[in-house]
Chains A and B, each alone.
Chain A
């Protein structure tokens, strides 16, 4: 059974700092990995999708990497802003596990002025 873990569970940083969020998964047989942002009480906003054949994806100040063999992904946020405060979730689409996403429990990020 695929399990996804995110560390740390919560993180507080001053504005302007660069930061890294971690995601690990137990089964490397995946189609892709997706990073989401979730604001309190809201739905999920897709940030980045990395296919299993890719090593990284970039969108603006966000960069996500994937090391499938070691079961790890990182989300790098450059020059953090208070508007980045949210919960960040990673999810994997396993091979052979149907079409569902398996999610981690998220990292709650707070960027302080």
Chain B
């Protein structure tokens, strides 16, 4: 068990460019979450997958954001036409579903991808 991994760890991009981040959850964890954290704030929920199905999306996830988990394993988060307000730490977490439906389980977080939009 190597934990949740995220790549890249840091990304600097110019306003208007597209960026894509990748998250590899803990193996056999079928639930995967994306959060965004700005400086001095707690993480805010963006979206959630159970296997390959995207089951919930926050209103924070504007139409410039898209997330996928095509084979129910790794996930990607793409931001199109980046804006300076997108600068944040993007965190991924995973959890097993388990017999209780997954609500009882801890969420395990990756190291995050820090995005800076200049």
Contacts and interface: CB of A to CB of B under 8 A. Distances in A.
Interface string B97-115: 0000011111111111010
B104 to A, nearest CB: 6
A100 interface: yes
Nearest to A98: B56
B106 A34 contact: yes
A89 interface: yes
Q: Which size bracket describes the interface of B in this complex?
A: 20 to 34
Contacts of B65: none
B40 interface: yes
Given A91-B42, A99-B31, A43 B91 contact: yes
A34 B104 CA distance: 11
Contacts of A104: 42
B112 A100 contact: no
Interface of A: 4, 31-32, 34, 36, 41-46, 49, 51, 89, 91, 93, 98-106
